[in-house]
Amino acid sequence: MPVAHTGAAVRGVPSAYGPIHCHRHRKQLPPGALDFSAAGHLYATHGLHAFAARCPPPLARWAIETFTDASDIVLDVMCGSGTTLVEAALTGRHGWGVDIDPLARMVALAKATPIDPAAVDELAGRIERDAPATDDDGWRPALDRLDYWFRPDVAGDLARLRHLIRTRTAEGPLRRLAWTVFSSLIVGRTSVANARDLVHSRHHFREWTEDPHTVERFVRALRRAGRLMRDFAALPPSGHPAATLVGHDARALTVEDQTVDLVFFSPPYVSALDYPRAHAFAVAWLADVLGTTPAAYRAHARDYVGSDRAPLAAATPDQPLPPPSGHTPVDTVVAALGSVPERAWVVARYFTDMTAVFAEAARVTRPGGHVVAVVCPSNIRRVPVPTHEIFHTLAPAGSGGRLVLEDHHARTIHDGRRVMPYLEAKFGERMREEYVLVFCRRPDPPGRG
């Protein structure tokens, strides 16, 4: 429904804009328009660090270019590894990011902050030169079974690299980039840890039978980071606007009302990925850098949207199943999981959290702006969870009517990065389709701020 609103009073809306019509941007897209093949996704710094369930950069770019103008503010409330922030910089927008995961925040900022490639090369050269004369200082992270997960020579090399990064860089973007490259040695399909895959949550022991040459890998990866920075800097516009981190929790944003032009984000799937488990080793090695401890990081894991940790925390003998939320599509799925209470609680909690996320996204978006969510449905114990359809009504309800569904696009997932091989066995079906939900932000109803 079009909503009459005089644009002149609203930031970023020229008076010529006239009344805000929520369907102004409605676009008929040809089938497959948002499919983007996997090719060509790793330009600029997109390939700097592995991250589970990354958003394809062209999808972020499509949303940014469709719903904002140069110099606008684009906020990703679950920015993960920073795809949206990089694309905001590459399109001349101000990218703001929020993520609950401290490793993700560091990676996102490192990827979206251009650095002089010569300085990166120079640092790589210095570390290569100084490493042989640098002793292992004996520092080790507080990690259970450290010797099982890291060969002693690998742990020694990681300790030496930590020392070299601290002593050869000053606080700032170059040091952050170096820590991000350090983390990428651990969080990766070919991690230097004794683990098969530390990108996704279910890693398995895979022993290095010979030294993986951690320092040499680091130097190579840092040189590659320098090349990625060169690509980034060479892409227009020149002088990319700086990206900024503006908070930690999408359910409680520390951003003023009506300040952003677009919220673009892809929330986690229900119960599918355990980021704290995937990142645990890297965070242990970087805990002091990230301002946490391994124990605090673990304790925080249940605050992640979609977490299946402590599922029964809110259950009581009198309330073994989640109480009705009042939102029928959610309650229907929760009821279908009644025979597996811990899954029912996980799903109920996910949608409660996402209600808060949409309410906050609506609050911080200016009237006439947009909230775009990239969403994947899933199956839990073979019960379909049509997350995208549930969001059609949950976002408007959760935002007190501020969000109106403007468009809904299906896209086929072509890039293997978004398909979790382990999930196929667990949930019985590959997630091949995801949905791009476009909500328009209406003005607040009179009397509500």
Ligand X SMILES: C[S@@+](CC[C@H](N)C(=O)[O-])C[C@H]1O[C@@H](n2cnc3c(N)ncnc32)[C@H](O)[C@@H]1O
Where do contacts with ligand X occur on this chain (CB under 6 A)? 51, 53-55, 78, 80-81, 83, 98-101, 104, 249-251, 266, 268, 275, 303-305
Query: What is the token pair recorded at 311?
Result: 């599922």
Q: Which is nearer to ligand X, 165 or 228 (CB)?
A: 228
* Other CB atoms within 10 Å distance of the CB of residue 137: 11
Q: Residue 28, class by beta-carbon neighbours within 10 Å (0-12 exposed, 13-18 middle, 19+ buried)? A: exposed
Q: Which is nearer to ligand X, 368 or 377 (CB)?
A: 377
Q: Which is nearer to ligand X, 250 or 260 (CB)?
A: 250
Q: Which is nearer to ligand X, 241 or 268 (CB)?
A: 268
Q: Which is nearer to ligand X, 119 or 356 (CB)?
A: 356
* Other CB atoms within 10 Å distance of the CB of residue 61: 19
**Cβ at position 245, least distance to ligand X in Å:** 11
Q: Which is nearer to ligand X, 22 or 272 (CB)?
A: 272
**Cβ at position 134, least distance to ligand X in Å:** 33
**Cβ at position 214, least distance to ligand X in Å:** 25
The torsion angles phi and psi of 358, rounded to 5 degrees, stand at: -65, -40
The torsion angles phi and psi of 378, rounded to 5 degrees, stand at: -150, 180
When CB distances to ligand X are compared, the closest residue is 80
Contact, 293 vs 275, CB < 8 A?
no
Q: Which is nearer to ligand X, 51 or 391 (CB)?
A: 51
3-state secondary structure the chain: CCECCCHHHCCCCCHHHCCECCCCCCCCCCCCCCCCCCCCCCCCCCCCCCCCCCCCHHHHHHHHHHHCCCCCEEEECCCCCCHHHHHHHHCCCEEEEECCCHHHHHHHHHHHCCCCHHHHHHHHHHHHHHHHHCCCCCCCCCCCCHHHHCCHHHHHHHHHHHHHHHHHCCCCHHHHHHHHHHHHHHCCCCCCCCECCCCCCCCCECCCCCCCCHHHHHHHHHHHHHHHHHHHHHCCCCCCCCCEEEECCCCCCCCCCCCEEEEEECCCCCCCCCHHHHHHHHHHHHHHHHCCCHHHHHHHHHHCCCCCCCCCCCCECCECCCCCCCCHHHHHHHHHCCCCHHHHHHHHHHHHHHHHHHHHHHHHEEEEEEEEEEECCEEECCEEECHHHHHHHHHHHHCCCCEEEEEEEEEECCCHHHCCHHHHHHHCCCCCEEEEEEEEECCCCCCCC
**Cβ at position 304, least distance to ligand X in Å:** 4
Closest by CA to 80, choosing from 302, 236, 305, 270, is: 305
Nearest-angstrom CA–CA distance, 383 and 270 = 12
**Cβ at position 35, least distance to ligand X in Å:** 17
**Residue where the block lists tokens 């990676």:** 107
**Cβ at position 371, least distance to ligand X in Å:** 14
